[in-house]
A and B are shown apart, each in its own frame.
Chain A
Amino acid sequence: MKTKLIAMLLILTLLASVMAGCGVGVVETDDTQAQIDTQEVVNYENATQLTVATWDGGLGSQWLEDAADRFEALTKDVSFEPGKTGCHINIAASRSFDGSTMAFTPLTHDIYFVEAVDYYAMTNNNQMACLTDIMTEPLTEYGDSKTILEKIPQALQDFLLADDGNYYAIPFYETFYSFAYDLDLWNAKSFYISKDGGWTNADGSLSAGPDGVAGTSDDGMPATYAEFGKLVEHIKDEGVLPFICAANATDYVANFLYEYYANYEGKDQMELSFTFDGTANDLISVSEDGTITELPEEKITWDNGYELQTQAGKYYALCFARDVLAPKDNYKISDTHINAQKSFVRGGIVNDQPVAMILEGSWWENEAKAAFTELADGNYERHNYAVMPKPHATEEKIGQTPCWLSTSSSYGFVANNSTHKDLAFAFMQFLHTDEELSHFTAEVNMTRPLIYPITEEDAAILTTYCKSILELKETGDIIYPYTNREEVLDNPLQFQSFNWAWSTSVDGYAYKNPWLYFSEVENASAEAYFSSQKEFFEIRWDSF
């Protein structure tokens, strides 16, 4: 009897492990948590069901839920399959929907809005449904005369166009890494730079700022790195912490520096890093003592692409990291980005030290919703932030059009194995009407890398911070750091994100994040970091 019992238990264990290991079970491990997190599914018997999965990060899922409600109301009399009328859209929001692993796992929902997507791996694996038809058809059915494709900037269109001439995904959100600053604190502490070079509040006589034009929104902001350094000293003198960032998100700082590098280079020079076709006209070499020598113009092709590692903007951004970002008394590093946001939002209240800036992606304000709610419970209201305009490396650059990198590898797409493709396509079209895109921005206070106006109704409820994002898009040059060069896509460890901007090997030690290098390495040298970058790529170039 005992033997039989043991044998039965062993058989059960064997079957359970085989089912779990070989995927015979019904439940996909990828979605287990998501199913737990999924909102209660209302079973509308006579409506077609659709599931939309989204990464539950800084953006949350409220925007999608609201849009789904509007779409359901709009299509309540439409039949998407025989015998059924209307639709019900279930939103599955979870952090298990990680785009970086989706290329290797089966998709179990109809639509995805996720980040860190490997677009080409997923299209090659036939996981995404072809969206060409719905992207090239005017959205007249939903009251919009434009097509989705017309709303996508050309650089992104080029990237999304697969070898077979089709499009398989639509860019989701975009972020700009920057300092966000507290306008109220700036005013109260007189952190604005006055015309005479002193300090004043918002009502004072302000300096012209980085754009060099008086009467614009960047007035009183530091125009150069040197001015920024002075501002940081002034902030400290006033007993305020200059900036806060997070230990679990040190890559934000590397991305931030990438933005400063791009701002120096300007759109044309920066895009060489993605086209590898054109003339580089600001290459430099730097000696150990920091003497800069301008190099002659160079025609850039793929064969000598590593020459771009000597672009001047890199060196200046490295100097900024060394002089402003790295000194220990200039910042506090919180353990997580959530806690950093909380410290920033709560700064100056009761015993919390006031914090002048937070170094973050532009999603931070939406991600910090809980911190704002907590404040509101204590009768504090705070929503007066703005993106800090980027100072220029040198005085000669003042007035140059600011340049921003629209970074994100997030996409919206329809799963190729969806059984409700017609409905999924219809919902995707609905989500990309101007009106819905505007609602998205109003809900999450972020933008999508698409061209769309904000309605008056939505503009009225935008936060100051979101308005400053819209302004930077309007007044600046936006670079979409994407390329479909096979060599680049094949080597993400060297080219993806800020790897291309900051990979180096100083004295034989590999680094990818200048901030970590300057804050942790004794006698760290911007000159050594910069000078090693070209060699780092040159010796590897043939293997790309």
Chain B
Amino acid sequence: MKIREPAGIRKRRRDKKDLIFYCVLMALPLLQICIFYFGVNFQTILMAFQHYDAYTDTFTWDFQTNLKTFLTEASTAGFWEMMKNSFWIYVFTQLAGTVLAILFAYYIHKRHWGSTFFRFMLFLPSVIPAILLTVLYKDTVGLGVPAWLDYLFGIRVDNPFSFSGDGLRYALVTLFTVWTGFAAQVLIYSATMDRIDSSIIEAGKVDGTSPWQEFRHLILPNIMPAVSVFVVTGIACFFTNDNNIFNFLSWGAMPQEKTIGYYLYILVFNGKTGYCYSAFLGLLCSLILIPVVTVVRKALNREDD
């Protein structure tokens, strides 16, 4: 004879199974966040107050050395050039990039001519490894274009990546950064636009809105939450954006081309010797950015409301 299990026991068993499933589901992200967020950041904060002794391979408590190094560097024009470059990279990749991305996403959303092709092209940087894309871009622009100019018109130009003096190299590298950063934004914005309730757009059309009015009053307000996310994360990355300089130039970037992000990268790349000072500089950057990000986020949230 089969005895029917009481409902309470069945529920408890189901709850237990659910709990196991929940634990398994959460374990990996929690483990990841513990190691790669809390662990790494905690260690980095500690390192900001330490000095690495390469001879004995030990870290000792020493805040002054990092502070002194920073003060020495902050008094040089090169340091402020890096700050200036970080600012301009932010302007190009985030502000100008965002505006262009929204307009382009709208174009794709409206299914205008070639929108599928453009969407595919923009998605390419997201699926091709960054270093491969860099090599393709560098060789196409640096070797291919001069070769074609020579072949077609007999115009001989040097590889623009071999020389920084005229600023063209810096412009080309920045253009690459804008292009590769563009893709994610366009895809998110166009997907967000596609999800806008069609009845809102239809209602607008009934009221006789022009395409610009539709964009300004119907589309833009609906994608603002997505825009806010990009603007806020963009500010948070102000000091870490290396403008892909290392991929293009390795160690050979000139002072006029460096960003703080590239500098931090190089410091860490140099091995343990650079860890403590880069941690100090990173902490300092965070202290500057935390209030800025907080204010901007609040302002954008208010705008959304």
Among B17, B54, B78, B143, contact of A489 (Cβ-Cβ < 8 Å): B54
If A493-B270, A520-B254 touch, does A18 touch B21 (CB 8 Å cutoff)?
no
Residue contact A7 to B21, C-beta cutoff 8 Å? yes
Residue contact B165 to A521, C-beta cutoff 8 Å? yes
Among B57, B72, B256, contact of A125 (Cβ-Cβ < 8 Å): B57
Interface centre among A17, A493, A511 (most CB of B within 10 A): A493
Give chain B nearest CB distance to A24 CB in angstroms: 14
Question: Considering the chains assembled together, what is the distance between the CA atoms of A528 and B21 in angstroms?
Answer: 68
Give chain B nearest CB distance to A321 CB in angstroms: 15
If A333-B162, A540-B72 touch, does A251 touch B65 (CB 8 Å cutoff)?
no
Interfacial chain B residues near A540, Cβ < 8 Å: 69, 72
Give chain B nearest CB distance to A3 CB in angstroms: 6
Interface membership of chain B positions 64-98, coded 1 if the CB is closer than 8 angstroms to chain A and 0 otherwise:
01001100100111111100000000000000000
If A14-B27, A509-B255, A520-B254 touch, does A103 touch B57 (CB 8 Å cutoff)?
yes
Q: Which of A396-412 touch B at CB < 8 Å?
A: none
Question: Considering the chains assembled together, what is the distance between the CA atoms of A390 and B26 in angstroms?
Answer: 66
Question: Considering the chains assembled together, what is the distance between the CA atoms of A17 and B35 in angstroms?
Answer: 12
Q: Which of A237-270 touch B at CB < 8 Å?
A: 247-248, 250-251
Chain A positions near chain B (C-beta within 8 angstroms) = 3, 6-7, 10-11, 13-14, 17-18, 21, 100, 103-104, 118, 120-121, 124-125, 247-248, 250-251, 328, 333, 335, 486, 489-493, 505, 507-511, 513, 516, 519-522, 539-540, 543
Interface membership of chain B positions 1-43, coded 1 if the CB is closer than 8 angstroms to chain A and 0 otherwise:
0000000000000000100110011011001100100000000
Is B198's CB within 8 Å of the partner chain A? no
Chain B positions near chain A (C-beta within 8 angstroms) = 17, 20-21, 24-25, 27-28, 31-32, 35, 53-57, 65, 68-69, 72, 75-81, 143, 158, 161-165, 250-252, 254-256, 270-274
Residue contact A539 to B274, C-beta cutoff 8 Å? no
Question: Considering the chains assembled together, what is the distance between the CA atoms of A279 and B64 in angstroms?
Answer: 33
Question: Considering the chains assembled together, what is the distance between the CA atoms of A124 and B255 in angstroms?
Answer: 36
Chain A: CB-nearest residue to B81: A509
Give chain B nearest CB distance to A13 CB in angstroms: 6
Give chain A nearest CB distance to B267 CB in angstroms: 9
Extra pairs beyond A120-B54, A520-B254 (9, CB < 8 Å): A10-B25, A118-B271, A121-B54, A124-B55, A247-B252, A248-B250, A491-B54, A509-B81, A540-B69
Question: Considering the chains assembled together, what is the distance between the CA atoms of A244 and B73 in angstroms?
Answer: 35
Residue contact B65 to A543, C-beta cutoff 8 Å? yes
If A10-B28, A510-B76 touch, does A492 touch B273 (CB 8 Å cutoff)?
yes
If A103-B57, A490-B53 touch, does A10 touch B165 (CB 8 Å cutoff)?
no
Interfacial chain B residues near A100, Cβ < 8 Å: 271
If A10-B28, A248-B250 touch, does A543 touch B57 (CB 8 Å cutoff)?
no
Residue contact A14 to B254, C-beta cutoff 8 Å? no
Can you give 15 A-B contacts (C-beta < 8 A)?
A3-B17, A7-B20, A10-B25, A10-B27, A10-B28, A14-B27, A104-B272, A250-B251, A251-B251, A333-B162, A492-B273, A493-B273, A508-B80, A509-B77, A520-B254
Question: Considering the chains assembled together, what is the distance between the CA atoms of A344 and B75 in angstroms?
Answer: 44
Give chain A nearest CB distance to B142 CB in angstroms: 8
Question: Considering the chains assembled together, what is the distance between the CA atoms of A7 and B28 in angstroms?
Answer: 12
Interfacial chain B residues near A11, Cβ < 8 Å: 24
Interfacial chain A residues near B35, Cβ < 8 Å: 21
Interfacial chain B residues near A505, Cβ < 8 Å: 76, 78
Chain A: CB-nearest residue to B24: A10
Interfacial chain B residues near A17, Cβ < 8 Å: 28, 31-32
Give chain B nearest CB distance to A111 CB in angstroms: 22
Question: Considering the chains assembled together, what is the distance between the CA atoms of A181 and B171 in angstroms?
Answer: 37
If A492-B273, A519-B163 touch, does A511 touch B28 (CB 8 Å cutoff)?
no
Residue contact B54 to A490, C-beta cutoff 8 Å? yes
Interfacial chain B residues near A493, Cβ < 8 Å: 270, 273-274
Question: Considering the chains assembled together, what is the distance between the CA atoms of A104 and B43 in angstroms?
Answer: 17
Question: Considering the chains assembled together, what is the distance between the CA atoms of A185 and B271 in angstroms?
Answer: 44
Residue contact B56 to A124, C-beta cutoff 8 Å? yes
Interfacial chain A residues near B56, Cβ < 8 Å: 124
Interfacial chain A residues near B25, Cβ < 8 Å: 7, 10
Question: Considering the chains assembled together, what is the distance between the CA atoms of A519 and B31 in angstroms?
Answer: 50
Question: Considering the chains assembled together, what is the distance between the CA atoms of A492 and B273 in angstroms?
Answer: 8
Residue contact A520 to B165, C-beta cutoff 8 Å? yes
